[in-house]
Amino acid sequence: MKPAHLALVLTAIAAIVLLVAGPGTRMAWWDFRFGFRLLGWAAYLGLAGAALAVALLAFRRHRAASTSSLLLAIVLGVAVAAVPWAFKRQAQAVPPIHDISTDTRRPPEFVDVLAHRAGALNPVAYGGEEIAQAQQAAYPDLQPLLLDAAPSVAFERALHAARAQGWEIVATDAAAGRIEATDTTFWFGFKDDVVIRVEPADTGSRIDVRSLSRVGKSDVGANAKRIRAFLAALEK
């Protein structure tokens, strides 16, 4: 195999490893931890292929014969490595927590969704003041939503907004003002559980939301993003 072809093969393998890391985890071919390791291997393979292509470009005989292949290897290798790198940067930018709530003093409680969490690594019990402080420092914008509407009306609006997010509605209890749902992430297929609480307030109704990952110490900001999107939809 020509050196230029080897560089291209390395980056192509890296791209394949990257692409299967998530779907393989989603389809339970392997554990999510192994899926994360595949991301790292993809990055290393991509960088190795790109580095080899750069080195070969320095030699005129390789450059003249396989310039297009070497340039493609560089672009592909860097592109593949950029995905795990961006994922790692995002993880480092947020605290390593996986339970987010608009009410950290009295978080909404899960009830019916508990039967669906068999095998979940993360408990449903809230982590207390340490988690609350970490959330407040990272996501100070996450607050309860006050709606100028009766609780019964706010409940229906919340249920409609939850369905519009594409969540699987697990249970609804209008009398208790509770909606429970599960959201499945696109790439890795992680299941995160959501509970919405609707209560009477002086101005009408108060909406609180809690989003909890089943696995993983850090949610890489996914739960906060999910709550923001729901509240924004509900406000509309």
Which helix (DSSP H) or strand (DSSP E) does residue 195 occupy?
Answer: strand 191-201
Determine the average pLDDT of the residues in 49-65: 77
CA 100 from centroid of its chain's CA atoms: 13
Say which amino acid occupies 105: R
Query: How many CB atoms are closer than 10 A to CB 89?
Result: 9
Q: Which residue has the higher pLDDT, 142 or 5?
A: 142
What is the band of 235 on the pLDDT scale with cuts at 50, 70, 90?
confident
* pLDDT tens track for 4-52: 789 999 999 999 999 999 999 999 999 999 999 999 999 999 999 999 9
How many residues are there in the chain? 236
Three-state secondary structure readout of 152-163: HHHHHHHHHHHH
What's the confidence (pLDDT) of residue 48?
96
Question: How many whole angstroms separate alpha carbon 81 and alpha carbon 69?
Answer: 18
Is residue 230 a contact partner of residue 166, using CB atoms and an 8 Å limit? no
* pLDDT tens track for 175-207: 999 999 999 999 999 999 999 999 999 989 999
Q: Reduce the DSSP state of residue 185 to 3 states and report it.
A: coil
Buried b (16+ CB within 10 A) or exposed e, 174-200: eeebbbbbbbebeebbbbbbbbbbbbe
Say which amino acid occupies 16: I
Question: How many whole angstroms separate alpha carbon 17 and alpha carbon 45?
Answer: 9
Say which amino acid occupies 127: G
Count CA within 13 A, CB hemisphere, residue 219: 25
> Which residue matches tokens 């890391």?
21
> Which residue matches tokens 């108060």?
206
Residue 203: closest CA among 119, 163, 144: 144
φ and ψ at 104, to 5 degrees?
Answer: -85, -15
What's the confidence (pLDDT) of residue 132?
97
What's the confidence (pLDDT) of residue 57?
85
Say which amino acid occupies 132: A
- The CATH architecture of the domain made up of 99-235 is 2-Layer Sandwich (3.30)
Give the bridge partners for 199, in sequence order.
Answer: 206
Q: Tokens for 181?
A: 């749902």
What average pLDDT is seen over the chain? 94
What is the band of 61 on the pLDDT scale with cuts at 50, 70, 90?
low
> Which residue matches tokens 């993809």?
42
Question: How many whole angstroms separate alpha carbon 181 and alpha carbon 211?
Answer: 9
